[in-house]
Amino acid sequence: MPNTPRSSTGGRRHRVREEALAEILRTGRRLLVEEGPAAVTLRAIAREMGMTAPGLYRYYGSHRDLIQALASSLYDELATALATARDRHPADEPGRQLRDACRELRRWALAHPNEFALLFAKPVTDADTTPGTAAHDSGWRFGGVVLDLMVQLWRRSTIHPPAGLDPAWTTQLEEVREHLSGEPVPLEVIYVFVACWTRLYGTVAVEAFGHLDFALTDPEPLFEHTLDDILTALGDTAG
């Protein structure tokens, strides 16, 4: 039997490992959707895949590693979806790009409520996004789609932050500015960015989690009205 080149063997091992990692995440996501976040455990995934629990530890050393990888993959999926919606419009129309990206966030959340909850409601503590974690980096990749468009709108318009912002707490926004690739955005303007994101997220979340059912059978007009307000606050009047 001819010798198999070592590089070829290594390449196959890498592919097999990558395929196993992908299957583990698919299985974890299915358990999340069908049974909820508490069901996403290494033992449960091993059982679903016909593996032993110790065998699964060769791929993810802890529950935290598993949840971080799952959250990271979901953030990346969401970032890709928002970027695709953004790119339906020319780069010189950031207002229209942002509007469609925000609409895509709502669409994704309503289509994937359990995944949205894992990322944004944090029902599992291991899904946190503290600095240095996989979910932190991928979360900022997702957030960067929205934030970059806000920066483009700031370059094109005059944003009027509310008067009287206390520098003692606006300095908390420095971390956001660190993700702007050196853009000299004033902290008061970053406050507007964060306030707009808060309104966007809040409007999407209350619908995705079923908290508007008491009042509305169709929350889309409320979402669109909120989106108009957000774009106006960011200086976009193109509609």
Query: What residue spans of the chain are helical by DSSP H?
Result: 6-35, 42-49, 53-56, 63-86, 94-111, 113-120, 134-156, 167-170, 174-178, 187-208, 220-233
Tokens for 124, please give them. 């599992």
What does the pLDDT read at residue 17? 85
- For the chain, give every residue range classified as CATH 1.10.357.10: 78-233
Residue among 79, 182, 74 nearest 135 (CA): 74
Mean pLDDT of 89-110: 97
Q: pLDDT tens-digit profile of 100-137?
A: 999 999 999 999 999 999 999 989 999 999 999 999 99
User: What kind of architecture, by CATH, is found in domain 78-233?
Assistant: Orthogonal Bundle (1.10)
Tokens for 193, please give them. 């960015």
Class of domain 1-61: mainly alpha
Residue 1: pLDDT band with limits 50, 70, 90: very low
**Rounded Cα distance, 72 and 78, in Å:** 10
Mean pLDDT of 166-176: 86
Residue 9: pLDDT band with limits 50, 70, 90: low
**Rounded Cα distance, 119 and 126, in Å:** 11
**Rounded Cα distance, 130 and 114, in Å:** 21
Higher pLDDT among residues 38 and 164, named by residue? 38
- For the chain, give every residue range classified as CATH 1.10.10: 1-61
